Amino acid sequence: MRFRWPTLRLELVIVVLGAVLLSLLGIAQNNVWMEENFQQGAATGMVVKRPLSVVKPVGHRATVLYAPTDETVPNPERGFYRYVETRSSAAVNYDIDLLAGYFNDGIRLLYCIHYLDTFVNSPISDPFLAHVQDKLNAVRNAGLKCILRFAYTDDDPTQRGETPPFGDADKERVEAHIRQLTPILRNNADVIAFVQAGFIGVWGEWYYTDHFVDEPETPWVVSPAQYTRRLDVLTALLNAVPITRTVALRYPFAKPAMFGDSPTGDQATNAAHTGFHNDCFLASDTDFGTYRADQIEADKAYLAEQTRSLPLGGESCNPNPPRSQCATALAELERFHWSYLNWEFHEEILAGWQTEGCFAEIERRLGYRLVLKQGLFPSSTQPGAALSIAIDLENEGFAAPVNPRPIELVLRHTASGDVYTLGLNSDLRQWVPGALLRIDETLTVPADLPLGDYDLALHIPDADTTLAHNPGYAVRFANADTWDSERGVNRLLHTLNVKETVGGQIYLPSLEKSEEFGDWPSPRRHPLQDN
């Protein structure tokens, strides 16, 4: 007898198969839509959840889009700085209340210059070394960091005919002083953001000098032999500061004059830690000698390339319109990747920027300004499983962050308040301006992580253990409704559910609970976000 399918069953199969095909097509389209949406962006604040994969539908992912803020965001190791000084002939303590006021005003950097004016011909005294340490302790207590420089004199030669002697110390004395200062530099690296080469010449600016040119009457003529002597001083200072810090030169052309075009070995390492400062920004066509008059564009091109990964900062010193006005200022701050600038000098130039309307933009963009764009996160995971995250961000500042810092994904249990951290491999020093950046990493959930819901956050603390738990030294993103000022973390506005393992358990090392965060307020929930 010939077998025949009952009509009802055949129709049922067709209906079921059609439903399955439509479902699969819908899932695929949803995934394509989600991935395209993650790439291209959508309405600010929208949170969407769709199945991640047709092949392995083990959960959902959420795409979270973050709203930027236009406010000035204080952050460590960048921005406008305030000036403080001390000198051995008249040592003064920093005003603690004044430093605290700077912090409350959003300042995070101090220009800390120390004049060794009574030690030109003698060792630095123990009391003055203790005085330097006291000043750095005060900076730490105020939540600030130093742009550090040492010099012997600020007797302005332009006010007395530019004739020597100029009053700096000889090479042997400078190197001896650097040896004395080495323990202080190393023990206080946490509050030293940048070091300027200093020591040589008036103000430590490597120009008016009695000992590092062949003829002090012509300080602009520096022979190869004198560049070698200068390199010896620079090398001593580079060896004194921690490897995580840089030393800045006043003149960009001095660097290849000392290191050559292609240094190798230790010289290559030293060159990679030698940045720049410009103390006469926009003052003339050459910025008062910052660039050689016959090679202005070559020196600028060199500086622009170098400062992609090395710091530049300084001050203006002479009104020079139209060059010192907003249009050129913004263009050159961006081209040369400025990280810091004097809040106080030159007053006329700063006032002009206020009048023209670019001061606020400069204040926002000095150094780095990191903005979260969107994140792609799983809605759930299991102990011992992989955890893949992708976060798009942009650096809207003038420069990349210069000093190294860890980056951590923070998981805070919404019921117990316990906090756990997972280290990321991303290097924020590679977060250069002008490009869409991405954190794209697959982490491992600890096998013994308690089940439950976890609010996610990013933590970028100071690299030094003395400051790592201080929220004032953590990096804040320029976004609305993400910053937790009490813990120094950036909330990612996403809750991850850790649920019971399905199948075999993977053995992994335990992750210790982080104690320093404690509880923080739950992130703002968007109405479209699922619970």
Quote the pLDDT of residue 436.
93
d(CA 202, CA 181): 20
Q: Which of 365, 387, 405 is the last residue of a domain?
A: 365
> Same domain for 314 and 398?
no
Kind and range of the H or E element at 145? strand 145-151
d(CA 474, CA 479): 15
Do residues 500 and 445 make contact, with C-beta atoms less than 8 angstroms apart?
Answer: no
DSSP string, 516-527: SS---PPPPPPT
State the burial class of residue 213 (Cβ atoms within 10 Å of its Cβ: 0-12, 13-18, 19+). Answer: buried
Six-digit token pair at 299?
A: 């020196």
Is residue 104 situated within a structural domain?
yes
d(CA 242, CA 191): 12
Quote the pLDDT of residue 455.
98
CATH assignment of the domain containing 153: 3.20.20
> Same domain for 425 and 395?
yes
> Same domain for 309 and 246?
yes
> Same domain for 262 and 376?
no
- Cα radius of gyration rounded to whole Å, the chain: 29
Question: Whole-angstrom distance between the N-terminal and C-terminal Cα of the chain?
Answer: 58
CATH assignment of the domain containing 484: 2.60.40.770
Task: Characterize 95-134 residue by residue with b for buried, 16 or more Cβ atoms within 10 angstroms of its Cβ, and e for exposed.
Answer: eeeebeebeeeebbbbbbbbbbbbbbeeebeeebeebbee
Residues 6+ apart with CB under 8 A from 66: 44, 371, 372, 373, 374, 375, 477, 479, 480, 482, 493
Q: Render each residue's pLDDT in the chain as its tens digit; 531 residues.
A: 333 333 434 444 343 344 434 334 333 333 433 344 444 433 333 333 333 322 233 347 889 999 999 999 999 999 999 999 999 999 999 999 999 999 999 999 999 999 999 999 999 999 999 999 999 999 999 999 999 999 999 999 999 999 999 999 999 999 999 999 999 999 999 999 999 999 999 999 999 999 999 999 999 999 999 999 999 999 999 999 999 999 999 999 999 999 999 999 999 999 999 999 999 999 999 999 999 999 999 999 999 999 999 999 999 999 999 999 999 999 999 999 999 999 999 999 999 999 999 999 999 999 999 999 999 999 999 999 999 999 999 999 999 999 999 999 999 999 999 999 999 999 999 999 998 999 999 999 999 999 999 999 999 999 999 999 999 999 999 999 999 999 999 999 999 999 986 443 333 333 334 444 343 333 322 222 333
Is residue 129 situated within a structural domain?
yes
> Same domain for 391 and 531?
yes
Six-digit token pair at 190?
A: 């946490």
> Same domain for 87 and 60?
no
> Which of 101, 113, 102 has the alpha carbon at shortest distance from 79?
102
Q: Which of 350, 365, 380 is the last residue of a domain?
A: 365
> Same domain for 197 and 139?
yes
> Same domain for 358 and 447?
no
Is residue 529 situated within a structural domain?
yes
Amino acid (1-letter code) at residue 49: K
- Tally of domains within the chain: 2
> Same domain for 308 and 345?
yes
Six-digit token pair at 476?
A: 């804040």
Quote the pLDDT of residue 28.
39
> Same domain for 360 and 396?
no
Amino acid (1-letter code) at residue 473: Y
β-bridge mates for residue 192, sequence order: 146
Amino acid (1-letter code) at residue 59: G
> Same domain for 279 and 203?
yes
> Same domain for 351 and 395?
no
Q: Which of 338, 365, 392 is the last residue of a domain?
A: 365
β-bridge mates for residue 60, sequence order: 51
- 3-class DSSP state of 446: coil
Is residue 21 situated within a structural domain?
no
Model pTM? Answer: 0.85
Six-digit token pair at 317?
A: 């010193």
> Which of 502, 484, 489 has the alpha carbon at shortest distance from 460?
489
Is residue 243 situated within a structural domain?
yes
Residues 6+ apart with CB under 8 A from 324: 282, 283, 316, 318, 349, 352
Is residue 17 situated within a structural domain?
no
Range of the structural domain that residue 109 is part of: 79-365
Is residue 460 situated within a structural domain?
yes
Is residue 193 situated within a structural domain?
yes
Using omega within 30 degrees of 0 as the cis cutoff, is the peptide bond preceding 211 cis? no
β-bridge mates for residue 454, sequence order: 413, 496
Strand bridging mode 60-65 / 47-51 = antiparallel
